[in-house]
Amino acid sequence: MKNPIRLLAISLITVLTLGNAVSQTSIDNKVLVTIGDENVTAGEFMRVYEKNNTQTDLYEADAVKDYLNLYTNFKLKVIEAETLMMDTASSFIKELEGYRTQLAKPYFIDETVNESLLEEAWTRSKTDIRASHILIMVDENATPDDTLRAYNKISNILEEINSGKSFEDAAVEHSDDPSARDREAIPNKQRFRKGNNGDLGYFTVFNMVYPFENAAYSTKLNEISPVIRTKYGYHILQITDIKEAMGTAEVAHIFVALRPDASTEDSLRKAEKINNIYSKIQEGLTFEDAVKEYSEDKGSIKNNGKLSPFSCNRVVPEFVSVIDKLDINDISEPVQTAYGFHIIKLISVKKPGTLEEESSKLKERLAKDKRSQKSEDAVITGIKKHNKYKEFPKAKAEVFASIDTSVLSKRFVAEGLANMTDPVMRLKKDKYSQYDFAKFVQKKQRIQDNIDKDVYLNQLFKEFVKENCIDFMDKNLEDQYPDFKDLVQEYHDGILLFNLTDEKVWTKAVKDSTGLQNFFENNRSKYTWGERVDATIYHLKDGSVVDQVKEIITSNDNDGDIAKALELDSITSVKILPGQYESGDDKYVDMVEWKQGISDPIKSDVENLTVFVKINEVLPPQPKELSEARGLITADYQTYLEEKWIDELKAKYPVSVNEEVLKQIIEVKNN
């Protein structure tokens, strides 16, 4: 982790925001200042000046000259650091590379895509959808033949539905989702479970995989979607309800259980029980008392029937439908679900907020969701387009054929393909060979189960292309984006400046105790106390003993005796603050006349507090000792060291300013 203080210092030295590009003028390439053997052009200076002076468009002569002096001193230190080869140190190279990596991240994100995804997620969060589906499972890594077989199967099912077969019947007959069909009871192993005929209940954004979600939000009410592909296989959807989002609800319920395979007699008996409970509530029995006396949900009884807060996808759809009709604290009529009967009381509902309110939470969800891949995909597409990406199918097929099935057990060795040098892809003039891909495969291979070799190699080839595209752009960022190049250079110079200034000035001033002492002795007259008072401030929180406390303060000569007297009288609400105070050190000391004696009581205007100030002695101005002003003296010593160092650097690297070019800059930019 980067040192935050160090990062702040470097950030202050450099400028982290990209400045406006300087318009080209006839003087851009003219030399403004020479520092040793290095020339600084007018264009370079204007770029930096405008970046650091964004509050005005004016090039005021004094401001420009002052900034040129600061910039010259900055360049002197950087040149000295480079002369000392500080930029070749491994620690410097590692630190700069870390900053460069952070600075490069925005170039690998498509913010337009991200903003679109955010807007889409927020819009969808305001709607709940209820859907049924039919699934034909096929592994996402299946062979083309298996994939086609599954696609043909679901296409035939869709044709049956379009020809008049009910969606529910098709789901029961064909779907690979086992929840669509009844699960028969097996004695001592599993209970009977009624099938859902493909019904998935309600859901909203992020509750389903992204392709499924897209299909759901793109299909109209009561219509059937086209065939869609997810990682689970092929689906078709039927949208059975579209409604305003429920949000997050908290409810309490009274529950009467009913087995899925209950007899008609049991069902009638349980229905009668829940109706009787509801009648008692109507007659005046409190909901909470009814929970304690009648509910069969043992887990919620102790909490007056309360359930954990939930969203629409976490409960059976009957709950969602009931909640939509209730106001806060309303109690529903009995409702039946797959688990039994319920009486529901609505405690609270939190609906989705505005885009601004939900933005932070949605961004967190987006970052963890696979749809965020769309941003990276857009970047890769852009890299391919702008760098003339080309793929070579014949060479690709040859290297695929040369890699045997040992790759599926993580035993493939690339060395045997070293002579395969034909390119499989190209970005501009950079070619990536068959052997390059083979080495990538050796590095990335993992043990695979139930996957065709060529399917797996195609996956790895996609990774190979993506990684090479990102690496290609990364190594060419400085050439493609001048602003990025300038920013990295600023960090380069800022780190060097920080390291050398720390060595020559900041740390030296702290560690050089002899030098600090000599500097203090030579400048002792600058460090003096103004007029002060030796005083004690008494803070009293108990207003009933003000007179008693004043009497104790008046009757005793020192604070030790005063503290003892207060303790003897069991007065514990007094805070004693002795010290030497200059004007401005304490507002209560400033409020009293500076002469020996105790003040009248002062009432605080913001606290329940009474204050006495006792002036013991008025102290005339006098010199400070080093220990009394070390911080200020150290800061002044650092300034002295820096000024002396700059003089030495100017002697080592002579500075020459072209006054005519400086004059032209001011005239041209102001006109």
Determine the pLDDT at residue 542: 87
Determine the pLDDT at residue 50: 85
Contact predicate 341/335, CB 8 Å: yes
- Which token pair is 206? 């992020």
| Phi and psi at residue 324, to the nearest 5° | -60, -25
pLDDT digits (tens, 9 = 90+) for 378-405: 999 999 999 999 999 999 999 999 999 9
d(CA 147, CA 234): 9
d(CA 186, CA 481): 68
- What's the rounded mean pLDDT across residues 448-452? 90
- Which token pair is 647? 């003089």
Contact predicate 55/12, CB 8 Å: no
Q: Which span out of 260-269, 599-608, 650-659 was modeled with the highest average pLDDT?
A: 650-659
pLDDT above 70 for 12: no
- What's the rounded mean pLDDT across residues 62-89? 94
d(CA 528, CA 629): 9
d(CA 592, CA 620): 17
From 433-437, 460-464, 571-575, the region with the lowest mean pLDDT: 571-575
- Which token pair is 76? 């002197």
d(CA 468, CA 471): 5
Handedness of CA 485, 491, 497, 503 (dihedral sign): negative
- Which token pair is 552? 């104790």
What does pLDDT average to over the chain?
A: 92
Q: Which of residues 458 and 18 earns the better pLDDT score?
A: 458
d(CA 230, CA 156): 18
pLDDT digits (tens, 9 = 90+) for 229-238: 999 999 999 9
Half-sphere exposure of 532 (CA within 13 A, CB side): 16
- What's the rounded mean pLDDT across residues 559-577? 91
d(CA 108, CA 101): 11
Helix (H/G/I), strand (E/B), else coil: 492: helix
- 230 beta partners: 233
Q: Is the pTM of this model over 0.75?
A: no
d(CA 405, CA 622): 89
- Which token pair is 228? 């869609």
CA distances from 175 to 28, 153, 180, 199, 237 (A): 71, 11, 7, 12, 12
- Which token pair is 257? 């259980």
Per-residue pLDDT band for 606 (boundaries 50, 70, 90) equals confident
Q: Are strands 340-350 and 248-257 parallel, antiparallel or unpaired?
A: antiparallel
Instruction: Show the beta-strand stretches assigned E in 394-529.
Output: 423-427, 430-433, 528-529
Determine the pLDDT at residue 492: 96
Determine the pLDDT at residue 276: 96
- What's the rounded mean pLDDT across residues 134-155? 94
- 34 beta partners: 39, 656
d(CA 341, CA 257): 6
Determine the pLDDT at residue 16: 33
Domains (range + CATH), the chain: 1-83+481-527+627-671 (1.10.4030), 127-244 (3.10.50.40), 248-351 (3.10.50.40), 387-477 (no CATH), 530-623 (3.10.50)
| Phi and psi at residue 42, to the nearest 5° | -60, -40
pLDDT above 50 for 304: yes
d(CA 152, CA 156): 6
| Phi and psi at residue 633, to the nearest 5° | -65, -40
Burial 291-308 (b: 16+ CB within 10 A, else e): beebbebeebbeebbbbe
Per-residue pLDDT band for 10 (boundaries 50, 70, 90) equals low
Determine the pLDDT at residue 450: 85
Burial 162-174 (b: 16+ CB within 10 A, else e): eeeeebbebbbeb
Determine the pLDDT at residue 478: 95
- What's the rounded mean pLDDT across residues 147-161? 97
Per-residue pLDDT band for 24 (boundaries 50, 70, 90) equals very low
Determine the pLDDT at residue 222: 96
Q: Which of residues 188 and 90 earns the better pLDDT score?
A: 90
pLDDT above 60 for 1: no
CB atoms within 10 A of CB 231: 12
d(CA 217, CA 208): 11
CA distances from 289 to 96, 149, 277 (A): 68, 59, 11
- What's the rounded mean pLDDT across residues 628-634? 92
Q: Which residues contact 472 (CB under 8 A, 6 or more apart)?
A: 383, 387, 427, 428, 430
Determine the pLDDT at residue 13: 52
pLDDT above 80 for 59: no
From 165-169, 575-579, 602-606, 610-614, the region with the lowest mean pLDDT: 602-606
d(CA 158, CA 136): 12
Amino acid at 77: K
Helix (H/G/I), strand (E/B), else coil: 152: helix
pLDDT digits (tens, 9 = 90+) for 173-185: 999 999 999 888 7
Determine the pLDDT at residue 668: 80
pLDDT digits (tens, 9 = 90+) for 552-561: 999 998 999 9
pLDDT above 50 for 21: no
